[in-house]
Amino acid sequence: MTKNNLKKNLKILILTTLLLASFFYNASAGDQIKYHEFFVASFNEQINSALNLPFSFYIGDNLTGVNTPIKGAFFSVSGVYTGGGSLQLKIDSVTESSKTFALPSVSRPTDFNIVYQDETGILNHTSAGTYGHTLNVTPTGITISGLGVKLETTHQFAPTSCVDGLPANEKIKVSEFFVGSFTNSLNGGSEYITLLPFSLYIGDNITGVTNPIKSAYLSISGVYTGGGTLDLTASSDGSGTSTQFTLPNVSNPTNFEFIYPDTYKYISPSSAGSYDYNLKIDLIGPIISNFSAKAIITHRYKPAACGAGYPPYGELVSAIYESTANAAGPAYNSITWKGQLGGAEFNQGKVLFQVAASSNPSGPWGYVGGSTCGANDWYEATADSAIELACISDFNNKRYFRYKIRICSDDCINGGQNTPQVDDVIVNWSP
C-alpha cells in the first residue's frame, strides 16, 4: 500500500505528570504557589434536609515562615435541583462562615454550580500535614439530585534548595486524565451498557507511602432528556460495586455533572507506573448526549534526594486512538517524536516506543517494538526522525491503536542528571 501524507498528531498533554518530564521549577528566594483538588462528597440519592460532610485535605510542602499560606480555598458544589428556596453552607458549624445561596423556583430539574469560599480562614493552616473538617449543607425548599462537592486550594510555600527534594516531608500533586467521551447519544430506553477503557499514570516515587492516593474521583457530564438512573463502576475490568445516580425526568435537554468518587478504592496504585481501568456505564431510562468523563487524582509522593538526578526512566501509555472508520483498518508506517534530548548539548538520554493495535477499542493490547517485535523490545528514535514500524503483522488492518513511550535519563539502566523533552508524537498511517 502506498504511503500518503496523512498523519495523526498525538500531542502528549500529560507528559508533565511524568517523573522524567523536563518541566520543573528552580528554587528561588521567593516563595511559590501550588494548586490542589480534593474530593469532599457525592450523593446518588435525593436530599432535602441538612447534611454534615466530613472531609480531609493534605499539605505536603514547607509552610514554615510563610505568612497566610492558604491563598485560596473554596468549595465547588454542584447538582440538579427542583423547587425553590436556598442552600446554606458553612464549615465546622462555625456561624461566621455561613453563607446562604438563593435558588429560584423552577418547574423542572435544573443544574446548578455554587462556589463557596472560606473567607473566615478556618482552612488556613500554617504547617504541612493532614487536616480534617466538616462542611455543613442545609437545603431549604429544594430537593437536590446528584449532589457533588470538591475542595480547591491554592497555597504558598517555601521552596527547597533543590528542584523537588529535601526536606524529607512527603509532597502532593494533582493530575487530570481524559477518560472518554461519546459523539453519539446513549439511549437508555431499553438499558444501555458499555465499557470505557482508560489509563492513569503515576510518575513519582510512592513506594512505602501510606495511602498515597489522597483523592480520586471522576467528573461525569453531559446533556440528558427523560428520566432514570446512571450506574457507574470504575475498576480494572468494570466489575465490582457500582454507584447509582438518579436523573429526574425532564422533557427538555438538561445539563448535568456528577462527581463519581472511588469509594471502593479500585484506583489504588502503590508504585509508579501506568494503570489501566474500565469505566462501566449502565444507563436505564434517559437519553444522554455529549457524555464525557475525566479523572482527577491527587497523590502523595516521596521527593528525590538532592543531587540524586533522575531515575533511569519513566513511562506513559497513550489514550486509545481510532485511525479510520473503515473496518478493514489501516497500514501503520512510522512513528516520530518532536522535542529534544537532555543536557547542555541536547544529547543525553533516550526516547523509546512500543505500539499496540486492536480491532476492538477494549483491546486486547499487546505492546511490541524493536527489530524482534517482542514485548521486551523497543523502537529507539531520534527527534524529528521517523522510524519504520516493522511489526507489520502485529499492527496492520486493526482500526484502533495506542503507544507506550519510555523516556530515559541516561541509558535506561542508570539514572542521569538530565532528561529528554517530548512535545509531540506523530504516527504515520495509510487508510
Query: CB–CB of 155/174 below 8 Å?
Result: no
pLDDT at 390 over 70: yes
Rounded to an integer, the average pLDDT of 271-276 is 86
The three cell numbers locating residue 145: 439530585
Question: Which of the two residues, 8 and 249, has the higher pLDDT score?
Answer: 249
pLDDT of residue 166: 44
Q: Which of 131-145, 291-305, 308-322, 362-376 shows the highest mean pLDDT?
A: 131-145
Which domains, and CATH codes, for the chain? 7-20+310-430 (2.60.120), 32-184+194-220+256-263+295-301 (2.60.120.1200)
pLDDT of residue 210: 85
| Separation of alpha carbons 318 and 8, rounded Å | 13
Task: Say how far residue 231 (Cα) sits from the centre of its chain.
Answer: 20
| Separation of alpha carbons 170 and 209, rounded Å | 8
| Separation of alpha carbons 297 and 300, rounded Å | 10
The per-residue pLDDT of the chain, averaged, comes to 83
Rounded to an integer, the average pLDDT of 190-202 is 90
Nearest in space to 219 (alpha carbons), one of 12, 72, 76: 76
Interval 227-243: pLDDT, tens: 999 999 999 888 988 99
The three cell numbers locating residue 189: 430506553
Sheet (strand 421-430) strand order: 7-11, 421-430, 331-340, 387-388
Burial class (CB in 10 A: 0-12, 13-18, 19+), 294: middle
Supply the pTM of this predicted model: 0.55
For 390, other C-beta atoms within 10 Å of its C-beta total 16
| Separation of alpha carbons 149 and 133, rounded Å | 14
Query: CB–CB of 429/10 below 8 Å?
Result: no
pLDDT of residue 342: 87
Interval 329-346: pLDDT, tens: 688 889 999 999 988 788
Instruction: Indicate the pLDDT class of residue 3, thresholds 50, 70 and 90.
Output: very low
What is the sign of the dihedral through the CA atoms of 306, 307, 308 and 311? positive
Question: By three-state DSSP, how is residue 105 classified?
Answer: strand
Nearest in space to 317 (alpha carbons), one of 155, 177, 148, 157: 177
Distance (Å) of CA 55 to CA 97, 133, 255:
17, 6, 27
pLDDT of residue 15: 31
Query: CB–CB of 302/208 below 8 Å?
Result: yes
Query: CB–CB of 223/185 below 8 Å?
Result: no
Q: Which amino acid is at 290?
A: N
Q: Per DSSP, which regions of 319-408 are E strands? A: 321-322, 331-340, 350-358, 379-380, 387-388, 400-408
| Separation of alpha carbons 390 and 62, rounded Å | 50
